[in-house]
Amino acid sequence: MQFKPHPQASVLLLEPENHAELKLYRDILSQEFPEMRLLLAGSQEEAHQLAPTATALLCKAHHVKDSLLAAMPHLDWIQALTTGVDAILALTLPPSVTLTSARGIHGPQMSELALLQMMSLARDFPRMLHNQQQANWKRWPQRLLLSKTVAIVGIGAVGRELARRCAVFGMRVIGVSDAVTTAEHFNEILPRTQLTDAANRADFMILLVPYSADTRHLVDARILQAMKPGSFLINNARGPVVDEQALLAALKNGPMAGAALDVFNNEPLDPNSPLWQMPNVIITPHIGGLSDCYAEQLMPMLIDNLRSYIAGHAPAHNLVPLR
């Protein structure tokens, strides 16, 4: 792959969700790269107006549209400000474009969400909130994370960070991965062929795998039926990693006790989905990767990749192979 220098790069940064972060990007990147032409867009409309002169696009994967790509005749680099890039890979990409992701920065927020989900499921926190609204004083034994077994399916940066935090809570940590055989804070690591074994032993099974043809319906009826009685499933990966119809049946009939779901087959989740009404389900609106310091988390990786781009070098971080 050939890379050319861009001494006076023209970079379009699209951030329609958080205008405060857009200002932060402007302040830091303008100071770091005074010769770079930074084009800031707070909406798709602004992005389309600025697109024709830009050679690089920085934005979250779900904000990239075919129409925007078509308006960028000089585009040769897309820096996704998200870990997942499947939304970009589904588009018609220019043949010479380079794609990089933000993989590796989401460990803190994803881990904290998983811990929140585990404790909320274990202690039946939604029931506590309901009782508070009804001024209803009810108590019951509180289930601890201490000595429970968690199976983390997918051992990337997030999985490793989560394992470290689970170990602090005194949990036994099983990993499931075909790419990793040993990692710190994991008591053992199993291949995906032994996912049923992990499901049968785990009090909590947490999904963190990237979405691909290999992981579509990785958790199907067979895996769900293998889950330990009274256990919980947490999906923070992608919706189609779980067979949603099989999940609905398992939530109604067991053996699992419940689930926490941050991702779904179709998002936003249909208001008519039966998942909304299930008392043993906690739903969050795909917030696992979000944080109140997202731009600051991104900045070191973003600056390194911009330096590489301007100098004509291969990306310093997270080059995504294109099919």
Active-site residues, by number, are 238, 267, 286
* Cβ contacts of 26 within 8 Å, gap of 6 or more: 13, 38, 40
DSSP notation for 19-83: HHHHHHHHHHHHHH-TTSEEEEESSHHHHHHHGGG-SEEEE-GGG--HHHHHT-TT--EEEESSS
Cβ(174)–Cβ(152) below 8 Å: yes
- Structure tokens of 62? 């779900």
Residue 160 CA to its chain's centroid (Å): 14
Report the C-alpha gap between 145 and 11 in whole angstroms.
46
